[in-house]
Amino acid sequence: MVKELMKKFVEVFGEGGTILPFFAPGRVNLIGEHTDYNGGHVFPCALTIGTYGVIRKREDRKIRFYSMNFDKYGIMESSLDGLAYKKEDNWTNYPKGVIWAFKEHGYEITQGFDFACVGTIPNSSGLSSSASLEVLMSKMLIDVYGFTDVDMIKASLYSQYAENKFIGVNCGIMDQFAIAMGKKDCAIYLDTATLTYEYAPVQLKDEKIVIMNTNKKRGLGDSKYNERRQECETALEEIQRIKNIQTLGELTEEEFEQVKGAIQDPVRMKRAKHAVYENQRTVKAVEALKQNNLKLFGELMNASHISLRDDYEVTGKELDTLVESAWKQEGVIGARMTGAGFGGCAVSIVKADQVARFIENVGKEYEEKIGYQADFYVVEIGSGPVQLAE
């Protein structure tokens, strides 16, 4: 993949100079959905699929981008002067946003670059192709421009800053953190209120992680993501009138039941309930995994989906069809939607010897009910971003 990309780079931008290759993973969240902007816990892991990128510094202030996934756009050119979000700049707004975010934090680059990339994460599938691109750019800036005092946690925060302030999507920290801090064969148990984290080994001996892609495209910008976030914020303000808390993530289920009457609207009450219960489920799920109780972990995954379906209402018929079909199959430990929802992917843990049949059965039922095919990926948990050997 890297060789091919290097070749393409030379073809597109010409020979010469030092061309440096990098990789940043995608991520899948095992449990803890829509909790990261509510001060709760998440439990994602980095994947071995992700974004490959190569970069070469320029003498002037031009920044030129090329993606093998968006070949049709050819070379897209911007400048370090007047960095701003422009709709027509399409995918290059992500790396541009990161350069801008670094600058906002005092790390300004004065020399431009040529950049080419290719992603092995399906775009808009909810496996964080955009966060992968952002963290890739961050890693390149750190290594190529010598911003060595920016550690990977800061890099994840700057990447999120780019997404929030440059792209305009109010995402939490989960995706960028999971990608920047990924560790092979481990999921990351992150408390989003404090950014304290712990690596939890995911030792699946007889099971596989199977990702199911609805192939229903979604973009966070045009989804109801920001609306959900707003609903939770309003619910929090209502609770704060009677209880001194900073985030919904501070509440146990019992405490929520005591104060929920303060929420004036039944829909908002459901949203807040999900945020609180999902956070508690995540805490329990990590505990279950530590005790090798995969069965309980799977049950909590299933309960997470039900809550996202009924209380948070971010699943939709494509994700529900995949997940509900998955639950019926033999050898399934657990299945749930993953990421923002409204399309994108679901994640399941399946007995290795049942995977082929699982994919066949779920795939068939999905196509019958939805009218087009789903895709399935048996994935491995990978590490964070790296500079690759030239």
Could you tell me which of 314, 309, 326, 315 has the C-alpha nearest to residue 210? 326
Establish if 33 lies at the interface with ligand GLA (CB under 6 A).
yes
Query: What phi-psi label fits residue 73: left (phi over 0), alpha (psi between -120 and 50 degrees) or beta?
Result: alpha
Nearest-5° angle of CA 79, CA 81, CA 83? 80
Residue that has been written with the tokens 């422009």 in this structure: 86
Residue 222 is a catalytic residue: no
In angstroms, the Cα distances linking 341 to 121, 190, 192 are 17, 20, 19
326/333 Cα distance (integer angstroms): 10
Q: Which of 232, 340, 359, 374 binds ligand GLA (CB under 6 A)?
A: 340
Shortest distance, CB of residue 37 to ligand GLA, whole angstroms?
6
Query: Which span (34-42, 100-108, 254-262, 319-327) binds ligand GLA, by CB under 6 A?
Result: 34-42
Alpha helices by DSSP H, listed for the chain, are 2-13, 93-104, 129-145, 152-161, 174-180, 225-240, 253-259, 266-290, 294-310, 316-328, 355-370
| Whole-angstrom distance, CA of residue 33 vs CA of residue 286 | 14
Contact flag: residue 191 with ligand GLA (CB under 6 A): no
Counting contacts by CB under 6 A, is residue 172 touching ligand GLA?
yes
Residue among 321, 312, 301, 376 at smallest CA distance from 341: 312
What spatial distance separates the first Cα and last Cα of the chain, rounded to whole Å?
A: 13
Question: Measured from the CB of residue 160, what is the shortest distance to ligand GLA in angstroms?
Answer: 8
Question: Is there binding between residue 37 and ligand GLA (CB under 6 A)?
Answer: yes
If the CB atoms of residues 282 and 329 are measured against ligand GLA, the closer one turns out to be 282
Determine, following the binding rule CB under 6 A, whether residue 278 of this chain makes contact with ligand GLA. Answer: no
Spatial separation of the C-alpha atoms in residues 279 and 260, rounded to whole Å: 16
- Judged by CB under 6 A, does residue 171 bind ligand GLA? yes
Give the nearest distance from C-beta 77 to ligand GLA in angstroms.
Answer: 28
Burial label for 245, CB within 10 Å (0-12, 13-18, 19+), is: middle
* 5-13, 28-36, 48-56, 237-245 -> range binding ligand GLA (CB under 6 A): 28-36
Q: Which of 89, 175, 191, 320 contacts ligand GLA by CB under 6 A?
A: 175
Q: In angstroms, how far apart are the furthest CA atoms of the chain?
A: 67
Q: Judged by CB under 6 A, does residue 44 bind ligand GLA? A: no
**Is 238 among the residues that bind ligand GLA (CB under 6 A)?**
no
Residue of 89, 114, 175, 320 marked catalytic: 175
Could you tell me which stretch among 31-39, 210-218, 367-375, 376-384 binds ligand GLA (CB under 6 A)? 31-39
| Closest among 303, 164, 310, 301 to 225, alpha carbons compared | 164
Least Å distance, CB 104 to ligand GLA, is: 20
Nearer to ligand GLA, 117 or 127 (CB): 127
Q: Of 19, 28, 30, 34, which lies in the binding site for ligand GLA, with binding defined by CB under 6 A?
A: 34
- Can you read off the two tokens belonging to residue 259? 């104060």
Told to check if 134 binds ligand GLA by CB under 6 A, we report: no
The stretch near ligand GLA (CB under 6 A) out of 17-25, 33-41, 248-256, 283-291 is 33-41
Q: Segment near ligand GLA (CB under 6 A), from 144-152, 168-176, 196-204, 249-257?
A: 168-176
- Point out which residues bind ligand GLA (CB under 6 A): 33-34, 36-37, 171-172, 174-175, 339-340
Residues catalogued as catalytic: 175
